[in-house]
Amino acid sequence: MRTRSTSGTVGTVGVVTLVLAALLGSAYALGRSMIPDPPRQPLGASAQVDGAQYGEQPADPAAPPATRPDGSSPAGTPTTGADPDTPQPASGGDGPFGSHASTGTGEVALTFDDGPDPTYTPQVLEVLRAYGVKATFCVVGENAQDHPDLIRAIVADGHTLCNHSWHHDVLLGKRSPALIRADLIRTNDAIHAAVPDAPVSYFRQPGGAWTYPVVSVAEELGMTPLHWTVDPNDWQVPGAAKITATVSRDTGPGAVVLMHDAGGDRQGTVDALRRLLPDLTGRFQLEALPPGGAN
Residues forming the active site: 113, 260
Q: Rounded distance, CA 203 to CA 261, Å? A: 17
Query: How far apart (Å, rounded) are the C-alpha atoms in residues 147 and 119?
Result: 11
Cα 76 from chain centre:
19
Q: At what angle do helices 267-283 and 121-131 cross, to 10 degrees?
A: 20
Distances (CA, A) of 146 to 97, 99, 142, 178: 32, 29, 6, 25
Strand partners, 139: 163
Euclidean distance between CA atoms 193 and 196, whole angstroms: 6
Query: Measured between alpha carbons, how far is 207 from 51 in angstroms, rounded to an integer?
Result: 20
- Rounded to the nearest 10 degrees, how much is the dihedral formed by the CA atoms of 119, 121, 123, 127? 170
The whole-angstrom separation of Cα 59 and Cα 85 is: 29
Query: Residues 55, 219, 228, CA angle at the centre, nearest 5°?
Result: 45
Instruction: Tell me if the bond preceding 177 is cis, omega within 30° of 0.
Output: no
